[in-house]
Amino acid sequence: MKFGAIGPIAIHLPEKIEDNDTLGAQYPKWDMSLIFAKTGIRQRHIAAPDECASDLGVAAAEKLFAEHNIDRSTIDFLLFCTQTPDYVLPTTACLMQERLGLPTSIGALDFNLGCSGFVYGLSLADGLIRGGIARRVLLVTAETYSKYIDPTDRSLRTIFGDGAAATLVEASEAPSLESFVFGTDGRGANTLLVTEGGARPRSDALQPRKRKRWPSSLYMDGPELVKFSLEVVPPLVERVLAGARWTHDQVDMYLMHQATLFMIEHLRERLSLDREHTPEALEQYGNTVSSTIPILIRDLRQSGRLKPGKQTMLIGFGVGLSWAGCAWTETWSARQVQMSEDGPVEQDVGVKSNEVGGDAKQAPGKECLEAA
């Protein structure tokens, strides 16, 4: 049996940047210093009016192919996670298959999940590989939440940014993704929602849980989402640890959905974790929904903090209500891909797994992180 492993990741962000200074000049009554202190966000990228999730996703995938010398003909399946599809139908992943020049023999599908979407996508890709259906899965996450937000909406415009991440999930001889845990509670659907654009008539549509203060199509009940996250994430962490047979000391980092700094700090307090074990990637990107975790992984790899052998937990939670987590041991290093008659052959040109924390199969533990 082969197992899914997280390979290279590429991201793409829209050209337009809205920073806090710009918003403060446009809306002088907005206290941008206080907003930054709560959100941890200094700027966010905003899609152009004619720029959709597929455009961002295609650009991220093209970067992935170019930066890592990936032959697109070796892709067996395309998974596209978005809540801002180009159309109600057809499936956006089908459009992306044609634009990317991927083989017509591949499978391609969209799945509508937000903040938990990356972990869900990894589980789907891992299952396809374990089942022998695919060897290389292209997992793309892309959102343009800005299209749902009114410019005067202080609560949402200062938080959400647009962006995309393309992740290659490859077949590996040893498992590195394990102990997937999921949760769903549709009772909380009215805390974060867009009720327009679907088939259900507006007169019969789900209503926001509390009074809608802003004219945005997107509604968010921030306090309720914080309460929800503090309730579900701690038991999620314990279930993932139990499934992986890890202890808390064996987890080098908890890579959480980057909602806001306020949310992350409350989770740190509830989980008794410090900042070193819960890294952030918010300030330059904002909350990019399903792309926050892959963007965080990409940044940690580039900074050298995430190397082969590091044991982490991936944690997503939010709209749905939906949550998901898994245990992940980093195995990827910079690779050069060469094509042979039998398919892609990879040669490591970066750090070997046994150069960090000893044998990659042995839990590096907290002392490995402190020494790094």
Annotated active-site residue in 257, 277, 326, 368:
257
Annotated active-site residue in 12, 45, 287, 368:
287
What's the pLDDT tens digit per position in 205-227?
Answer: 888 888 778 889 999 999 999 99
**Topology, domain 3-174:** Peroxisomal Thiolase; Chain A, domain 1 (3.40.47)
Distance CA(58)–CA(142), nearest Å, equals: 9
Say yes or no: do domains 3-174 and 178-371 share a fold: yes
- Domain boundaries, given as residue ranges, for the chain: 3-174, 178-371
Distance CA(165)–CA(12), nearest Å, equals: 6
Active site residue 257: yes
Active site residue 287: yes
What's the pLDDT tens digit per position in 161-202?
Answer: 999 999 999 999 999 999 999 999 999 999 999 988 888 888
Active site residue 81: no
Strands in the chain per DSSP E: 3-12, 16-19, 43-46, 77-81, 107-111, 136-143, 163-172, 177-184, 192-193, 219-220, 253-256, 311-318, 322-329, 335-340, 343-348
Annotated active-site residue in 52, 115, 326, 368:
115
Q: What is the rounded average pLDDT of the residues 143-170?
A: 97
Q: What is the mean pLDDT of the chain?
A: 90
pTM of the model: 0.89
Strands in 266-363 per DSSP E: 311-318, 322-329, 335-340, 343-348
Residues 3 and 172: beta-carbon distance below 8 Å: yes
**Topology, domain 178-371:** Peroxisomal Thiolase; Chain A, domain 1 (3.40.47)
% of residues, the chain, pLDDT over 90? 83
